[in-house]
Amino acid sequence: MKQVGVVGGGTMGAGIAEVCAKAGTAVTVLETKQEFADAARARIEKSIARGVKAGKLGQADADAALARVTVTLEMNDLADADLVIEAAPEIESLKAEIFGKLDQIVKADAILATNTSSIPVIKVANATQRPEKVVGVHFFNPVPVMPLVEVISTLSTSPETAAAVTEFASATLGKTAVQAGDRSGFIVNALLIPYLLSAVRMYESGYATKEDIDAGMKGGCGHPMGPLTLCDTVGLDVALAAAESMYAEFGEPHMCPPPLLRRMVDAGHLGRKTGKGFYDYN
């Protein structure tokens, strides 16, 4: 894994590119517009600068990491990558389209990975002619801080592919890698999303205030943050997309998104990233 490609330079993509670059790997980030490319570069630079300011990274190491990052608008620039990690929005058709194009561009032995949080990986693997070399690799936000990576093998993923990605995540990036089956939600979101939806329903019904719901789970269960604060941190649009994917897969009532969550996303109240969610951050 000497050369890594990252498709998408948003919050997750920029974070993935950063941890790869700091681990000594050359990274090429693909974006669709110059303004998005500039924003991706700025995200990486800002995050690395925070690490220097906090004393977690020396200036020389920071400069070396930034020198390993290239941002491009040309998918052909990913042709020589050993591993390409897709971090596009949680839209199945978009991911499948990206994988179909990557399959035609990257070298034959390259591994294609999706950072999806809930979409079954086989859905995007089938858009390629190399499903045995497609795997899920789910990072958590913020990527430079969160220690976990879920590695998701489909029924077609070869053991060698899963082993190579697991080795890269653990030995090179220093993450804790856990193995998950190819079911919507995998391990973490399969347990987390129903919990978050239950908190939204409790608040929506007027059973308790948002402050008391969050305080209850922090003080009563020892959680570092309450579920509604966590929704705001994850992004309400991300939580909704994960819930919709899981509900489509399993049809379980507790996985169905509450109307309030849908209306908040419709209103653009997505949490911290927009300044307003269950709480006001402006």
Token pair, residue 159, equals: 């053991």
Cβ neighbours, 10 Å, residue 208: 14
Any residues with CB less than 8 A from the CB of 251 and at least 6 apart, and which? none
Paired with 6 in beta bridges are: 29, 85
Of the candidates 47, 156, 189, 245, the residue annotated as catalytic is: 189
Q: Is 35 an active-site residue?
A: no
Of the candidates 115, 117, 184, 245, the residue annotated as catalytic is: 117
Q: Is 189 an active-site residue?
A: yes
| Best CA proximity match to 84, nearest among 120, 119, 110, 121 | 110
CA distance 195 to 187: 13
Of the candidates 18, 47, 118, 138, the residue annotated as catalytic is: 138
Greatest extent of the chain over all pairs of C-alpha atoms, in Å: 56
Q: Is 76 an active-site residue?
A: no
Token pair, residue 95, equals: 């991911």
Q: Is 205 an active-site residue?
A: no
* Backbone phi and psi for residue 65, each to the nearest 5 degrees, phi listed first: -65, -45
Of the candidates 115, 118, 150, 153, the residue annotated as catalytic is: 150
Q: Are strands 111-114 and 83-86 parallel, antiparallel or unpaired?
A: parallel
Catalytic residues: 117, 138, 150, 189
